[in-house]
Amino acid sequence: MRKLIIVLAICLLSLSVARADVLSITDLVKKIPNLKQGIAYSFADKQVSYLSTFDILTWKRISLEAGYSSDDKVVAVISYPLVNLKTDFNVTLPILDLINCRIGLFGGWGRLGVTEGNNEFAWGFCATLLEVKF
């Protein structure tokens, strides 16, 4: 019986060894998605607002983005790149890498609620000009 307990203890001790990897802050920062900054014109409100979005899905240069509008709306954007100075024109200046002109359509909702007059829907055109990279 003692031999069985000793063998089980050795097996359990060999399985419970934890291995910790080195924590790298630069690797964690690289996983943060790029923030896209732009403007939007809403056909429903007839107003211009500021958008801040990030990519959720990209397929053949078409991007689905989610974000927030300056007029308190959660927005979804479908966009397509027009000009990227780094890939299209081989510009190597670091600050110009952030300029990425994209156009798209957006839809957004604000003040969601059950009562009448609470739901606000906005849709229209948008343009993204800057991409903030961490």
Domain extent listing, the chain: 33-132
Provide the β-strand partners of residue 58: 63
Give residue-wise pLDDT tens across range 43-95.
988 889 999 999 999 999 899 999 999 888 899 999 998 877 777 777 777 77
Q: What is the pLDDT of residue 49?
A: 92
Number of Cβ within 10 Å of residue 79's Cβ equals: 24
Give the predicted TM-score (pTM) of the model: 0.69
Q: What is the pLDDT of residues 24-33, one digit of tens each?
A: 788 877 888 8
In this structure, the chain runs to a length of 134
Handedness of CA 76, 78, 82, 86 (dihedral sign): positive
